[in-house]
Amino acid sequence: MNDSPIGVYDSGLGGLTVWLEIRRLLPAESLVYLGDGKNCPYGSRPGEEIRVLADEAVGRLVHDEGCKLVVVACNTATAAAIDSLRAKYAGVPIVGMEPAVKPACLATRSRVVGVLATERSLDGELFRHTAARYGEGIEVLTVPGRGFVELVESDRESTPEAETCVRAAVEPMLERGADQIVLGCTHYPFLLPVLKRVVAGHGVTIVDPSPAVARRVEQLLDENGLRASRMHRPTFEFRTFADEAYRRRLERKALESL
């Protein structure tokens, strides 16, 4: 048993979609959420810069917050830094965001799968490897979700602007016959109401990897004997590299999602 918290890190607000799934699945566990905020978005930053930012964030969760396990709830940071993070913090289980291309490719009927992600994630070795392994005989369409992160970070995900932005990215996929659309950034599930309106009537399944990440966290807790004790009273903390106003936004958005 281990009552130390689980750390969840993202460039900003997006990883709260993963935080929520972990809290639902593991209600007895304490959580520390670190949303960078200061350097968001990560999507078009150079890989080395992202590695430095990710190292700073995970170091804070491990050394300052005493986290027993860390979730890198950012597809861009996972693509750029997961190997170096696991090497440096070898004593702490670290879970990354694996592209949900596998379940989409296994489920597609039209043999066309769409992937929405940041430019850096789509350029990552993990995505390319997964797409090559499971996408044989399947057309995998990749589209950067340009503007998606900024919409979520500015609380504009329910605006007409958001619908225009989502349509511009998704409608070309629909025209090509995609029946599975993978969300390759943890910010994107905040746009689910808009996404569902855009794909309505097209027989499309939207694939969100967050529940699978929560199940992987549960598996690693059990494998490593890290579950919180039965008498533990969980706490939920929010941290950021931005200002106090942003920290309060993280907390508010998390509570609104429950």
Q: Which of 186, 207, 228 is the endpoint of a domain?
A: 207
Domain range for 129: 101-207
Q: Which residues lie closer than 8 Å to 203 by C-beta, 6 or more apart?
A: 179
Angstrom distance (rounded) from CA 154 to CA 150: 6
Active site residue 185: yes
**Among the options 40, 67, 105, 185, which is catalytic?**
185
The per-residue DSSP string of 11-63 comes to SSSTTHHHHHHHHHH-TTS-EEEEE--SS---TTS-HHHHHHHHHHHHHIIII
Rounded to two decimals, the pTM is: 0.94
**Count of domains observed in the chain:** 2
Contact 94, 73 (CB under 8 A): no
- Quote the tokens at residue 89: 């913090």
Residue 1 lies in a domain: no
Residue type, 235: T
Query: Are residue 53 and residue 179 in the same domain, yes or no?
Result: no
Please report, in tens digits, the pLDDT of each residue of the chain (258 residues total). 899 999 999 999 999 999 999 999 999 999 999 999 999 999 889 999 999 999 999 999 999 999 999 999 999 999 999 999 999 999 999 999 987 999 999 999 999 999 999 988 888 888 888 898 888 899 999 999 999 999 999 999 999 999 999 999 999 999 999 999 999 999 999 999 999 999 999 999 999 999 999 999 999 999 999 999 989 999 999 999 999 999 999 999 999 888
For 128, the token pair is 């390319």
Asked if 122 and 170 sit in the same domain, the reply is yes
- Residue 10 pairs in a beta bridge with 35
* Whether residue 165 lies in the annotated active site: no
